[in-house]
Chain A
Amino acid sequence: MKKWIWSTKIICLAMLVMLSGELAAQQGLKDLSGYIPDMDEIPGWKLIGIPESYRGDNLFMMINGGAELFHEYEFVQALRASFSTVNENTITVELYEMKDAVSAYGIYSYKTSAYEISVPIGQEARLEDYYLMFWKGHFLITVVGQDSDQKNIEDIKTIARFVEFRILQSGDRPQLTELILKDPSTITNTKYIRGFLGLMSGYAFDTKNIFQVREGMMGNVGDCQFFVFQYMDDLESISAFKSAVSSLQKSPRFTNNGIHKNLYQMTDRENKLVLINQIGRYISIVIGIKRNEVEKILVLLNVKLK
């Protein structure tokens, strides 16, 4: 009986929330506090103080050295709210509004990994031992607890679902992501990147952005790592390829360098083969130990890109 009453309450509340959210959207309101549960809306949890808002460069005040990455993905504004129980257990919710759904998906893909468990919240969600992240529309949401016990995880999910209900609009993943992930796919751990910091998290080709990356994907196929960078057109891609090759030829990090037309190869310090291919408006790169696997994956990627 109690469960039924509780479910009914949740549904009614969700409807109210959707209506109020819609009203807020119609009025063009930008106050993110409307997306989080209010005082006493989550049984057993109370909102602590006033939620903190951050816009533009002020994100630095919230996450300091982490702000640059968010700006790389075109951050707009954020809100942080904390909830606590009588036992002083806390859960913190952070909403990050990005420029568009592509940016929101991008930062989500960057900050999550295949190690986490996929859960059906928002457009995609991942659950770790003590936190959950999801994206929906223009938003990345993190819900972080202080504990990994089952009750805490359930509360994290409940709060996440509250926020999810209040975000009315969904959005599309980047076209490049769809292109790379279209079937048949053995690709895992993909991340959509929007610049140098994202790229550096995957592989250090150089300490500078020698590929002039502004949009790309990276991930794994088996034991190999891959990258695809997308440019405005063929000319820009060719220019980036030539410029990067010029830097890589001088780099002490790589040996066995060789180039044939639009294919460059080298070996890194871990004795991995690196194949770099300029193809149309893209540059595709595969890194791995076994040459036949690296070549096979490069062909697979290039088929997707044609």
Chain B
Amino acid sequence: MTMCINRRSFIKQSAILGVSTILASSSVELIGNMALADTPIDIAAVEGLDYYKSTLHAVEMLGGMHRFVTRQSRVGLLINSPWQNPGCYTKPEIALAAIQMCYEAGAKEVGVIKSVNNSYWRKSAISDRFQDEIKSTRFIGNNFVEIPITDGQSLKKAEISKGLLDCDILINLPIAKHHDGVRYTGALKNMMGGQSRNTHRFFHFSTGDSGYYDDLEFLSQCIADLNFVRKPDLIILDGTEMITENGPFGPGRLVTPHKVVAGTDRVAMDVYGANLLGLKGEELLTTRKAYELGMGEIHLSALRIQEAML
């Protein structure tokens, strides 16, 4: 990790930027002057040190949160939050920006499908400014129901959180990072955050003769199959600071593209995210299998990708 500034000063710097953003204007005003393209884009990637602001900007480039969140809707957030080490969790600033945008777009309720500890929010210095929003995001993922996955190749049924199934709008907030098993985890794999532990074990152990999984083909197929359950309405991917080894929990060497990436195509988002880690996203088993199932585009050249720098 070659850092011009150390982690603490970076976090402070980001916090100052974030707070100044909040104080200066609402998210809508902040991006009101942006020159947006006429035709919709598939992926918006914003690079900058203020992750909160980058998130607002990225979603606005896609057309704004009101494109995804309707008034009085119940929004479910799937945040990759339960990790401690740097580069392993979706930055709280990104989640906070998403929550704020949902409410501004008229959401009636914003819930989290995988439980989020207070310690997660405390990782961001701007959390103090969002205490009301944090308190209002209740955990909605504690009940599971078994559902059939009729088109699944390896996964024929799964126990899925009712919160994930019942919410009107699903927003997936993964981080693009290394994973010891499937090499990469991002949007497709983050959907496992909405399944029960029983289903999780089935993914890993069902064909393992040794007692532990030794069949990545099967695991990758299960991850792809799981995505039949529900397509997220929006994906906001953390490509700011990520581990490139020892995933998913680290610690490990970091890359820092400082990018927040927004889009709706889960396969393309994972290809983009994996590329940020220096992997060939289109060659990953999970993206290939999801592509073969028609879940999205694996060739980024076929998509309209807009990148911006703040």
**Which stretch, A19-27, A170-178, A192-200, touches the partner chain B?**
A192-200
The answer to whether B3 touches A129, judged by C-beta atoms less than 8 angstroms apart, is: yes
The answer to whether B249 touches A65, judged by C-beta atoms less than 8 angstroms apart, is: yes
Interchain CA distance A189-B185 in the complex, whole Å = 25
Binary interface encoding of chain B residues 241-252 relative to chain A, with 1 for a CB under 8 A from any of its CBs, else 0: 000011111111
* Given A146-B7, A208-B215, 9 new contacts (CB under 8 A): A63-B249, A65-B179, A65-B181, A65-B247, A71-B212, A133-B251, A147-B8, A148-B7, A208-B216
Q: Which residues of B1-52 have CB atoms within 8 Å of chain A's CB atoms?
A: 1, 3, 6-8
- Pick from A92, A115, A209 the residue with the most CB of B within 10 Å: A209
The answer to whether A149 touches B8, judged by C-beta atoms less than 8 angstroms apart, is: yes
The answer to whether A69 touches B180, judged by C-beta atoms less than 8 angstroms apart, is: yes
The answer to whether B8 touches A68, judged by C-beta atoms less than 8 angstroms apart, is: no
Closest residue to B87 on the A side, CB-wise?
A130
A292 on the interface (CB 8 Å rule)?
no
* Known interface pairs A111-B246, A113-B245, A209-B214; A65-B180 also in contact (CB < 8 Å): yes
10 nearest A-B pairs in the assembled complex, by CB-CB distance: A196-B214, A207-B217, A131-B251, A63-B249, A129-B1, A66-B249, A209-B214, A147-B8, A207-B216, A65-B248
B210 on the interface (CB 8 Å rule)?
yes
Interchain CA distance A69-B181 in the complex, whole Å = 8
Can you identify 7 A-B contacts, CB atoms within 8 angstroms? A63-B248, A89-B8, A128-B251, A147-B8, A152-B8, A208-B216, A209-B214
Distance to closest chain A CB from B6 (angstroms): 5
Binary interface encoding of chain B residues 237-267 relative to chain A, with 1 for a CB under 8 A from any of its CBs, else 0: 0000000011111111110000000000000
Closest residue to B217 on the A side, CB-wise?
A207
B63 on the interface (CB 8 Å rule)?
no
Distance to closest chain B CB from A213 (angstroms): 9
B57 on the interface (CB 8 Å rule)?
no
Closest residue to A150 on the B side, CB-wise?
B6
Closest residue to B5 on the A side, CB-wise?
A148
Tell me what chain B mostly uses at the interface: helix, strand, loop, or mixed. Answer: loop
The answer to whether A130 touches B1, judged by C-beta atoms less than 8 angstroms apart, is: yes
Provide the residues of chain A in CB contact with B136, threshold 8 Å.
none
Distance to closest chain B CB from A121 (angstroms): 16
A273 on the interface (CB 8 Å rule)?
no
A72 on the interface (CB 8 Å rule)?
yes
B53 on the interface (CB 8 Å rule)?
no
Binary interface encoding of chain A residues 247-281 relative to chain B, with 1 for a CB under 8 A from any of its CBs, else 0: 00000000000000000000000000000000000
B78 on the interface (CB 8 Å rule)?
no
The answer to whether B214 touches A128, judged by C-beta atoms less than 8 angstroms apart, is: no
Provide the residues of chain A in CB contact with B181, threshold 8 Å.
65, 68-69, 197, 200
Closest residue to B285 on the A side, CB-wise?
A207
The answer to whether A64 touches B6, judged by C-beta atoms less than 8 angstroms apart, is: no
The answer to whether B212 touches A128, judged by C-beta atoms less than 8 angstroms apart, is: no
Distance to closest chain A CB from B141 (angstroms): 15
* Known interface pairs A65-B248, A146-B8, A148-B3; A72-B212 also in contact (CB < 8 Å): yes
Interchain CA distance A113-B253 in the complex, whole Å = 9
Provide the residues of chain A in CB contact with B245, threshold 8 Å.
111, 113
Interchain CA distance A64-B181 in the complex, whole Å = 12
Provide the residues of chain B in CB contact with A208, threshold 8 Å.
214-217
Interchain CA distance A17-B197 in the complex, whole Å = 40
Interchain CA distance A146-B8 in the complex, whole Å = 7
* Known interface pairs A111-B246, A208-B217; A148-B1 also in contact (CB < 8 Å): yes
B213 on the interface (CB 8 Å rule)?
yes
Closest residue to B185 on the A side, CB-wise?
A65
Interchain CA distance A111-B181 in the complex, whole Å = 14
- From the candidates B7, B82, B212, B246, name the one contacting A130 in the complex (CB within 8 A): B7
Provide the residues of chain B in CB contact with A146, threshold 8 Å.
7-8, 86
Provide the residues of chain A in CB contact with B250, threshold 8 Å.
144
The answer to whether A130 touches B8, judged by C-beta atoms less than 8 angstroms apart, is: no
Provide the residues of chain A in CB contact with B185, threshold 8 Å.
65
